[in-house]
Structure 1
Amino acid sequence: MWELRSVAFTRAVFAEFVATLLFIFFGLGSALSWPLSLPTVLQISLAFGLAIATLVQALGHVSGAHINPAVTVACLIGSHISFLRAVFYVVAQILGGVAGAAILHEITPPDIRGNLAINKLYNETTTGQAVTMELFLTFQLVLCIFASTDDRRSDNVGSPALSIGLSVALGHLLGINYTGCSMNPARSFAPAVIVGDFTDHWVFWLGPLVGAVAASLIYNYLLFPHTKTLSERLAIFKGFEPEEDWEEREAHRRQSVELHSPQSMPRGMTEKV
């Protein structure tokens, strides 16, 4: 419970609230149907993607800028955060999302609000198809997040914020015509609360959460597994205060991995292999 006594923890939780509020505000706002300027799929996709990229750049160093309960659950499964932090993050994201949707609702003319860009099934998409689509949309997003923010990588990954933003935009370019594209339970929950419409709402929790968990398991335990021991993973999950030599031991492990990696072998040896 040391995190509850940490000022940094409080700031991180508040950052998740603010980031999700702004994300929902700008994202839903881009999808409102103004009579003389109807939104296009490209416009909405770019707005959601740019919003995420901007917020990750602005607040990523404070909280990690999850801005998404599915991402937070994926980080919990991958032993990146504690259970307590995950709970506080999800609550902050949901409250922030509802606050953002409420503000947008109140400052938008009544005849423009519509259903506040709520997620729903379009073009005769079935619930099964919708869950599957949301699963794959969220899978690629979470996979991109882990890969672009992995500090064990020595290659040039470019801008993680831009990569994640483009991943969100990519999901919208495909998913809008199926489900309106959620990939984020907080994004779906916020307008549903304000509008009072929860039709097929479970789809926008189940699909993203399953996709996020699958991506976390595949990346963190199969594609690029961490060297943490089971006891260390349990310590992270329970939120035990890190030992002083934690970072030093992690550095030694990374050096060991690099020394034994085929990519780090001398050029002469790699040519002979």
Structure 2
Amino acid sequence: MPIEIAFGAFDDAFSVKSFKAYLAEFISTLLFVFAGVGSAVAYDKLTSDASLDPAGLVAVALCHGLALFVAVSIAANISGGHVNPAVTFGLALGGQITILRGIFYWVAQLGGAIVACLLLKFVTGGLSIPTHSVAASMSTIEGVVMEVIITFALVYTVYATAADPKKGNIGIIAPIAIGFIVGANILAAGPFSGGSMNPARSFGPAVVSGDFTDNWVYWVGPLVGGGLAGLVYAGLYIDRHEHVPVPQDF
């Protein structure tokens, strides 16, 4: 049977639908290469600085990825499994959750993070709780930009695998995909901005340790990144006629 190769029509190649597809490929490739090459850059930094520990970074990334996979899974059918104020903010801007409900999600998320850190301090005999910080070689603005990019990747992944009504069977792997992108981003950004992507994850330790140095970075960066992801994905790829709120759709 002869192979048939279709050239295609110019009106299809230059249609709005096609341009949306091109943008989707651009964003996906950007996020993939940022994490992949970023991890290599991070490794170079770790191995050139004796005070940094490559094995420790891998352990932290793995733990966060696995823990988030479980955290999203166990809450998915009840609340949607946001586990992150930046995710909630991005979903609210995309019309997937109401602002009022989102505010109460924030209260719950921040409260959970603070209690978690208090419990850790108690059960470890009063050991200090580490906080996120921007690397000495970076400015806080660079830290913010790093957090914007990696949180965009996280919330974009949430939309693509969980919030989009067209997700189909890929929704089954949403929690693990979300855990994977967090782990990858920590490997890439950990030595630079700390790889937070989550205001609650940074706020809980700051409250319990009493150290709010640069904590604003982990609010501004993740909220901007999550908000942009919500506006981009919901605005371009979600048909309003197919809209189903995330808490019922995970």
Same fold (TM over 0.5): yes
Describe the superposition over 1:72-118 as per-residue Cα deviations: whole angstroms up to 9, x where unpaired.
011110111111110100001001110001000111134xx23x121
Native 8 Å contact 2:161 2:170 kept in 1: no
Q: Which moved more, 1:117-126 or 1:43-52?
A: 117-126
Structure-2 separation of matches of 1:156 and 1:77? 23
Please point out which of 183, 189, 204 is paired with 2:197: 183
Structure-2 separation of matches of 1:156 and 1:190? 32
- Which residue of structure 1 aligns with residue 225 of structure 2? 211
Structure-1 separation of matches of 2:147 and 2:135? 13
Native 8 Å contact 1:123 1:177 kept in 2: no
Structure-2 separation of matches of 1:174 and 1:42? 10
- Which residue of structure 2 aligns with residue 104 of structure 1? 120
SS in 2 for 1:161: helix
RMSD across aligned positions (CA)? 2.3
Q: Determine whether 1:124 maps to 2:140.
A: no
Aligned residues: 193
- Distance change (3 Å), C-alpha of 1:186 and 1:225: same
Native 8 Å contact 1:52 1:164 kept in 2: yes
Q: Partner amino acid for 1:88?
A: F
List structure 1 segments (4+ residues) > 4 angstroms apart after TM superposition.
155-158
Native 8 Å contact 2:86 2:223 kept in 1: yes
SS in 2 for 1:177: coil
Q: TM-score of the superposition, structure 1-length normalised? A: 0.66
Structure-2 separation of matches of 1:134 and 1:123? 16
- Distance change (3 Å), C-alpha of 1:153 and 1:100: same
Q: Partner amino acid for 1:66?
A: H
Structure-1 separation of matches of 2:90 and 2:98? 12
Segments of structure 1 that go 5 or more residues without pairing to the other structure are 1-36, 237-273
Q: TM-score of the superposition, structure 2-length normalised? A: 0.72
Segments of structure 2 that go 5 or more residues without pairing to the other structure are 1-52, 246-250
- Which residue of structure 2 aligns with residue 74 of structure 1? 90
Q: Determine whether 1:94 maps to 2:110.
A: yes
Describe the superposition over 1:10-44 as per-residue Cα deviations: whole angstroms up to 9, x where unpaired.
xxxxxxxxxxxxxxxxxxxxxxxxxxx99611100
- Which residue of structure 1 aligns with residue 156 of structure 2? 143
- Which residue of structure 2 aligns with residue 50 of structure 1? 66
- Which residue of structure 1 aligns with residue 47 of structure 2? none
Structure-2 separation of matches of 1:56 and 1:199? 29
Structure-2 separation of matches of 1:95 and 1:51? 18
Q: Determine whether 1:63 maps to 2:79.
A: yes
- CA deviation after TM superposition for structure 1 residue 201, in Å: 1.1
